[in-house]
Structures are given as structure tokens and as C-alpha cells.
Structure 1
Amino acid sequence: MDGQSALLGKISPQLVPASDALRDFLLDGGKRLRPAFCYWGWRGAGGAAESEGIANAAAALELLQASALVHDDLMDRSDTRRGLPSIHRRFEALHRERGWRGDREQYGASAAVLLGDLLLIWCDELFLRSGLEPAAVLAAKPVFDLMRTEVMVGQYLDVLEPVAGDSTDEGALDRAQTVLHYKSAKYTIERPLQVGALLAGAPPELVEAYGAFGLPLGEAFQLRDDLLGVFGDPAVTGKPAGDDLREGKRTLLVAHAMRGLSAADARHLDERLGAPDLAPEEVAGLRELVARSGAPELVERRIDELMRQALDALAAAPLVDERARAVLLALAEAATVRKY
């Protein structure tokens, strides 16, 4: 960020607010799960503990995540991220404070689109210039690219569901599962592990083993996130209570809730989910519907089942470095712990 901030400053002093916003967004908080899984995927494949190259390559995944979050917050009209104003809201506030002309919301949205794109460019730049052997980067690049394609199309399917899907039909669960896999599960754990492994020259057997561990763990992570999006403590999540209901997210939790409610209650949840005039007391009412449906308990059981699958796969994985196995176990537990 020091290097990129200097570059932006040379282009124009008007870019200082943009540079400051991205620095704050990247460096103030965040779980850093994707870089951690990439690094320990590398270590498990025999990669050196002290390597500036893998630190750079893994950090590129955090730039990808930041890009996705900037755009995601704009699409979801989120006011906050990690307890701070989201990027589009920050630039709306800048517009207001400086008394600029024109549409304040449009300016904020435009800034978020462009800065999210800039983060995506920096992600590619950092990965390709990580300092690792070019052959290693070339070996990992197809999975790195696949990961980025998967998260973008998963996000598109997530945007599509509220406008084109029917939450009461038989295909709703399958569609929610597809979004979960591609928007989050693969992108959060499976692909970062595999990228790290390929950067270290891992054999196909280990890359496959990381998939067997990472995919169920990634699914469990997202299911936990879905529960937090409805029932999480704002002091922990950095988002308002019930934010997923306010944003209208058609998660697997919501799909299960639809099936556990009466026809009238399911219809009410379907109609009011993400409604622009949703008041705080109505958000609380929708939370109660989801709780009463039995879906949270079903999702908790699924998380436990997925964790067993993931940990069995980790125990059987042919890792080179046993310390990596212990750290991956700790990361798995941290990614799926209760926080509400």
C-alpha cells in the first residue's frame, strides 16, 4: 500500500482520499483467511517458512477479497463494513462534506466500482510479481484464474436469485447450494489452499486432498456466515443485526426456513425479505420466523457434518510439513466457531 499510495499521489493529489480509503479498508480488520490458507497450503506442500514470495502471492488474495467486498457492499447497499462506513458510503460522505455538485449517491457508487476494479488490478499485479519462480507462478495461475471466475459467477447467481428465482420451488435449495459453493466455499478455502500447493510444486495427490478438505470446510464457513448474517451480534460482525434479511440474501438458511414454515409465513418471509421499507422491528420479526422454522438447527447439524468430512480429509492428506496440519486444523475451527 505504501508503494501504490506513492504512485497514486504522483498521478494527482486528488487521489489521496482514494488511497486513504483503500488503505483503511485493507488494513483495518478482516480475518485474512484466504491468505492464511494459501500460505499453509504452501507450507503443507513443503514450501519454505520464510519466503517473501509466498507472502506476496498470498496477500494478492486479500486484494481480491477486498475488491469483492467493495463491490458486494455496493450491490447490497450496505452502510457498513467491519464497523466502518462501506466504500460507497464513505465517498458519498466526502461529496457531502466538500459541497460538490451533482448526485451524491451516484458519485459514491462510481467511486466504489472504480476502486474495486483497482484492487482487482493490484491483485493480479501482486500475484504475478510475487518474486516466486516464474514456472511456479505459471503452474498456479490457472487455479488462481479459475477461483476468480468462480467467485464472480457465484456473485452473479446470488444477484440473480432475488429477481428471477422462486424461493418456494423445489430448485431453490439447489440454487442456494450452487451460490454457496462458487461465491464462497471454493473461493474462501479450497482454491487458496490449492494455489499455495501449486506454488510449492505439490503433486496432484496433495492438490486433490486439499480439495477434499477445503470444499466442505468452505461450505461450513459460509453456513456459519449465513447464521451470523441473521443472528450475529453487530459488535462482533461489524454489520447491523439481521443485515442479510435487510439485504434480501437468499441463502441456504433462508431456503431451509421457507420449507419449515407454514405457507402463509413462508410467503410473508419471501415477500418482505430485502424490502426497501423494512423497518428494524420487522427485521426482528423475520428473524423470529427464521428461528421458528427450525432452519438454524438444521444448518448447525450440517456444519457439524461438513466439519467431520473436512477433518477426516485433513487427517488423511499427504502433507509434507506436520506443523501445517496442526495450523490448518486450528484455522478450520476458527472459521466455523459460533459468534452469536
Structure 2
Amino acid sequence: MDFARLQTTSKVTDEWRYPQKDPRRSGMLPVDQEPDHTLYWEEYGNPDGEPVMFLHGGPGGSCSPVLSRFFDPARYRVVLFDQRGCGKSRPNVARDGPDAALAKNTTDELVADINRLRQALDITGKMHVFGGSWGSTLALVYAIRHPEAVASLVLRGIFLGEREDLLYMYQGNAGTWADQPFALTRPGSYVAYPDEWKAFVEVIPPEDRGDMMAAYKAIFDARNPGEAGRAAQLAAALAWSVWEGVISYTVPPTADPGQNAEADFALSFAQIEAHYFANDLFIEPGYVLDQVHRLAGIDIHIVHGRFDQVTPLAQASTLVAALEAAGSPVRTFIKTNAGHSALEGQTVIALTAVMDGLDPLDA
């Protein structure tokens, strides 16, 4: 076999249409008190262009400048920001501690933050909302509550946030792993990523694997744990973060998981996700599907990787069917030969093409 011809990465390489540029401006926006939550934001592109609000994943994933490359800088005014508790926003879970950063950190507050940012940046009319993974959930919730502010939703890797969706990724066969590590005892992401799953499962003792998310959260919730406890928290955060990071790609970057293996990112990412998942994302079960009728009149475009094992394609198909039943079929539904990450080549091409083809806001 010619091993040199094997695919070694599924990450984007030269598929970008638009170059990387520095932000046109950036700032910190106070949005709350006690604790004093302050959001970090950046703006790219045309200051007089059509506004695009970019909602990152996670929760707790934060933004990076590369994410501005989906958008034509001559046409769009692109706003990236780090949601509460993560990235350059303050307080940050890793640097300032979870007690402060997770206080007043719910979906309701994040929705309100989008409006605060709109007001601060003088975005008064409709805007495009672009979100992937958890960002798709937040975009849908925002549009349901504020349809008057949204011209279009461009969504990637649909995440409906139901309990069964979380169990698929975080529970799998963990309960039987000790005795039957490779047995397909229930559905789950582990089926496609058994080696990466092993590293995630074995952080938790066998007797606690009946509820993996609860077991991880118990580690994160320990207060004043001492040196050994802090080391255990970091190890758990890294395992959680790397698990999601590597399985987001059809070719998992196990040897180089990037920021997911960085301590500060992992501590924020894992603890914010565990906080939201333990509270059903702070929305009622079935909320998005029950409220899709409120999205009438909004153009909706969906790009989803066929091989996505973080948010499987069935979630996108469920949303598309619900919208059709409500009389608001999606404008675009593209299934790429990719996994979950926005930074896989086919997904980059598809999302950029969708943005290039949107109806102008002044049409």
C-alpha cells in the first residue's frame, strides 16, 4: 500500500476564497454587573456593509480571526465576539474562576447580549446571523425571540440540544466499557473514534460511567480541591475538550488537536459546556422545534457534514422537516462530505458560497 497517498488531514487548506485580514476595530462591551460580564468583540470588512453577527460554538468555544474569512469583505460588516465566560471576554472561566464566569451565564443572557452588541455597534435594521454547532442553537433561539432583527440564518452543524443528542456524543457505551470496551452496546460517536473515546472514558472511574456528563461536572464543581484536585480538573478539561476537538474532523487531528489541548481554552470550554448541558442549555426541551413557526419570513440556509459525529446529520434533517411542516421551508440545505468542523474544506466552500449568494438586505 502506498501510505504516502493516504489522507492525513481534512482541515481547510487552500479552499478559502477571501484572504485573512486584521479586524477593522475591536473593543470590550460591559453587558452585566455582579459579576461584571464584559464581551470582547471584533469587526471586519466593510463598515457600511450588510451586518453579519457571528455566533461561535461550544458553548465556550470563542472566536478567532480566521472565522472572518467566510465573508466577502467588500460586501459584509462582520461582527465576531466571545460569549460570556470564554475567550477574551471577562470574567473568563480559566483565568477568573467558574464562580464568577458561570454566574449569570445562561441562554437568556446570551440572547440579550446579542441585542446589547447590536445597540452598541449601531446595528438598527435586520442582519444576517451566522452560527455553527451551539452557535446554530443560539442563532435559532435568537431568531425565534427577535425575528424582526434577522434577515437570514446561515447555520452549520445543527445542534438541537436534546438529551439524546448529548448522550450520543458523551455517553455512548461508557457504561459497559470496562467489560466490553469495543462492544456496540448503544449508539454513539465512539463507533467512529474508538481510540479517542478510550481517552475520554478512562478519565472517569468505572463505577461513575453510568452518567459521564455528571461525572465530569462533579470534577469541575469541586471547590478548593488542592493541588491534586486542580490537576484532576485540568486533566478532565483537556480530555473533554480534546475529545470534541478531534472528532469534529473526518480525519481526527489526534497528534495535534490545536487549541483544544491548550489549558486555558480547555478549562473554559469544558466547564462552560458542562454547565450548559447540566441545565438542558437553559431552554425547554423541544423549544426550537416547537417554535419554528416564529421563523416565517426569515431565509434559512443550512450546511451540514454528512459524517458529522458531534451533531449528526439527523438533527439538521429534523429541523428541515419541522420548518417544512410549519410552511417555512429552508432556502438551502447542503450536505457536505465532511464532519462537524466549520474548517473542513468542503464546508468552507459551501458556507462561503451561501454567503456570496444571499439576497442583498436592500433588495
Fold equivalence (TM over 0.5) = no
Counting strand residues as a fraction of each chain, which structure ranks higher? 2
Structure with higher Rg: it is 1
TM-score, normalisation: structure 2: 0.29
Counting helix residues as a fraction of each chain, which structure ranks higher? 1
